[in-house]
Amino acid sequence: MNTRNPALVGLIRDEIRVRGPVSFAWFMQQALYHPEHGYYSSDRATIGRRGDYFTNVSVGPLFGQLLAIQFAEIWDRMGKPENFSIVEQGAHHGDFARDVLGFLRDHRPDFFSSVSYRIVEPFPKLQDRQRETVNEFGDRVQWRNSLPELGSFVGIHFSNELLDAMPVNLRNKRVGLNGDELIFVDWAKDEKPNQSQVDWVDSVATKLERGLVLAIDYGFAGAEFRETIHVRARHRLLDSPFQEIGNADITAHINWSDIGKAAENNDLRIAGFTDQHHFLTGIISMFPDTVTQEKSKRGLQTLLHPEMLGRSFQVLALSKDADFAGCLSGFKFARDPRKELGF
Ligand SMILES: C[S@@+](CC[C@H](N)C(=O)[O-])C[C@H]1O[C@@H](n2cnc3c(N)ncnc32)[C@H](O)[C@@H]1O
């Protein structure tokens, strides 16, 4: 089945005919984020059982609840600052924000009253969806179109599967044409592989005054890194990013060591790095009452199982002007993060 978006394919072809082969990052930017036709920007992305793929968030509210516990612990350790922001980037339809705020309102009203939740979202259609989802929390939630528009903040920057959705270049490859068909062409000149992720670290580091950056994503550390592109639609992995352009998700595995290096160059400290299995197990071991209902137990199985989301996802924590070393529940079972990153 070919369900490509013809208008999008047409404009990519036109660009290649005029400019010659284009970088994979440019292609990925159009496929996912073209203002009118992109898979995410047009709100065609459907995440969950009936959609294209699962994320931690789509498994159910348990993920947000466990993270809310971790956020509250961070707030406690920082001495309970009064104006505390949780900044989320890549919030999709706002489910995670709703799950976190609902849990804090019901279980940690002291923290809830100090929190302002800020969603960084460039796409109007997604902002509208998010507004509907978190409607009950009123002006506790605010929006910014981009990180540069956010003022400096004390608190947490959180993302789940944000970095893997950022456009990347491929080694010695560009996107060209064979007749009308998009193809990979060899390209001798190497381009910077993950510039958008490194730029993201720079921007977050500039905006975070004090607190923690917590990024959950899938990738590799150190010598294990392999360039890996996944194209997903209707719970299938497609063979090529050119198959269902505009209607499929494209992700690239993260090079965690590059992110860590960029962080240290920007005065962030590596406060923790582990896989999701160990991260969530650490939180649950401190707060076992969270997972008592049957439904939560099933969700937990998906989040923790090594063949589901437990091992393929990793969690990186970067701190600024706050010392969390060895004391956050999520990293209770983690090894030395710098060693894990190959530093
Ligand atoms: C794979 S989805 C993950 C969505 C959600 N966090 C979840 O776990 O279900 C990636 C999301 O990141 C968003 N995104 C990509 N680049 C972004 C940026 N620079 N700022 C904000 N969101 C961005 C995309 O629009 C998309 O909604």
Q: Whose CA is nearest to atom 14 of ligand 1?
A: 90
Q: What's the 121 CA to ligand 1 centre distance in angstroms?
A: 8
Name residue, tokens 């609902």.
102
Q: Which ligand 1 atom is at minimum distance from the Cα of 92?
A: 27
Q: What is residue 160's predicted lDDT score, i.e. its pLDDT? A: 97
Q: Say yes or no: CB of residue 93 within 6 Å of ligand 1.
A: no
Q: What's the 122 CA to ligand 1 centre distance in angstroms?
A: 10
Structure tokens at 129: 């969806």
Instruction: Please return the burial class of 13, using the count of CB atoms within 10 Å of its CB with bins 0-12, 13-18 and 19+.
Output: middle
On the question of pLDDT at 331 being above 90, the answer is: yes
On the question of pLDDT at 3 being above 80, the answer is: yes
Q: What is residue 2's predicted lDDT score, i.e. its pLDDT? A: 56
Residues 221-234 pLDDT 10s: 999 999 999 999 99
Q: Which ligand 1 atom is at minimum distance from the Cα of 56?
A: 8
Measured between alpha carbons, how far is 283 from 278 in angstroms, rounded to an integer?
Answer: 9
On the question of pLDDT at 117 being above 90, the answer is: yes
Tell me the whole-structure pTM to 2 decimals: 0.96
Domains and CATH numbers, the chain: 6-340 (3.40.50.12710)
Q: Which amino acid is at 148?
A: P
Helix, strand, or coil here: 313? strand
Summarize the confidence of residues 144-168 as an average pLDDT. Answer: 96
